[in-house]
């Protein structure tokens, strides 16, 4: 069963879906789910939530603030710390629902949201289990890899100019997330596979997606280090799923961060690129996510 939901997040209304199993009346163990950079919930989160529902798990799926159906201004601005807090707001909202078992709530995130889920789980002990799929663990490394070194002073100057302009009341500068001109230094994700994924998914299932971000989103990303929190997730069980050929959030960053995590933890590595986690390898990534939640939220229940 799927129904529309909305809830308050410190004055910003976030919107999404509540999925519940077709059988049983609850209360159900429940997964809080949010997406990655600029993505909207229609970009395959519903597919993962249905796999979870078939296993007896409910899901609260929501669009990040400033994106998709959720409110928030300026539009298309990605503030990682606001997104982390919104995991916690979603958890509090879930606890208010009769169908949710408050003692069995897990966090699931993908890509940028995979890093956010780890940080949120480190801060919120209401989370009893976390799955991080193809996570972005180091914003600094992410930006440095995608930006030729000789262009860094230009980009830093653009950050400063944008801050001064916004202070004076100007609208934020916008940049494209993806482009068919990958050498443009202002493209957030310059990989060809990123352009192919977002343009095809937008056309096929996510018309609400917009190919733009505020420039400040790139600046805030460069300042964000989810990996610094990974040791604090324990004793909450952590599973990380990595694609071996990931050059978007970079498999080596995720694996290096995972080495710093404390037990209980589990690392799974599947062949393929970043976006194959949603499509070509969906059966594997969704089943691995489901099984971790079942083990720790259902199998361990009294």
CB 126 within 8 A of CB 105: yes
CA distance 51 to 278: 13
Domains and CATH numbers, the chain: 2-143+219-298 (3.40.50.1820)
| pLDDT confidence tier of residue 142, bands split at 50, 70 and 90 | confident
CA distance 288 to 189: 27
| pLDDT confidence tier of residue 264, bands split at 50, 70 and 90 | very high
Instruction: Give residues with Cβ within 8 angstroms of 292, minimum separation 6.
Output: 129, 131, 237, 239, 266
Which residue's structure tokens are 């805030």?
Answer: 220
Reading the block at residue 178, the tokens are 């993806």
pLDDT of residue 25: 86
| pLDDT confidence tier of residue 150, bands split at 50, 70 and 90 | confident
Reading the block at residue 222, the tokens are 């460069």
CA distance 41 to 60: 11
CB 58 within 8 A of CB 19: yes
DSSP-assigned letter for residue 158: H
pLDDT of residue 143: 83
């Amino acid at each position: 069963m799927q129904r529309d939901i909305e809830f308050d997040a410190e004055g910003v209304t976030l919107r999404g879906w509540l999925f519940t199993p077709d059988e049983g009346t609850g209360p159900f163990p429940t997964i809080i789910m949010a997406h990655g950079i600029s993505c909207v919930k229609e970009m395959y989160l519903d597919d993962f939530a249905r796999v979870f529902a078939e296993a007896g798990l409910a899901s609260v799926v929501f669009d990040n603030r400033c994106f998709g159906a959720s409110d928030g201004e300026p539009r298309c601005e990605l503030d990682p710390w606001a997104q982390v807090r919104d995991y916690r707001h979603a958890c509090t909202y879930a606890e208010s629902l009769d169908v949710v078992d408050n003692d069995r709530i897990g966090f699931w995130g993908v890509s940028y949201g995979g890093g956010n889920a780890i940080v949120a789980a480190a801060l919120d002990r209401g989370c009893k289990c976390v799955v991080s799929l193809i996570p972005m663990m180091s914003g600094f490394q992410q930006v440095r890899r995608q930006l030729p070194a000789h262009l860094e002073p230009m980009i830093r100057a653009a950050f400063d100019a944008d801050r001064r302009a916004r202070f004076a009341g100007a609208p934020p500068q916008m940049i494209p997330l993806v482009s068919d001109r990958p050498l443009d230094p202002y493209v957030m994700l310059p990989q060809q596979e990123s352009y192919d994924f977002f343009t095809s998914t937008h056309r096929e299932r996510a018309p609400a997606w917009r190919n733009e971000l505020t420039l400040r989103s790139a600046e805030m990303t460069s300042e964000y280090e989810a990996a610094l929190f990974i040791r604090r997730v324990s004793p909450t069980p952590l599973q990380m799923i990595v694609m071996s050929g990931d050059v978007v959030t970079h498999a080596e960053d995720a694996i290096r961060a995972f080495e710093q995590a404390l037990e209980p933890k589990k690392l799974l590595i599947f062949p393929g690129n970043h976006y194959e986690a949603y499509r070509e390898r969906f059966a594997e990534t969704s089943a691995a996510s489901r099984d971790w939640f079942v083990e720790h939220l259902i199998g361990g229940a009294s």
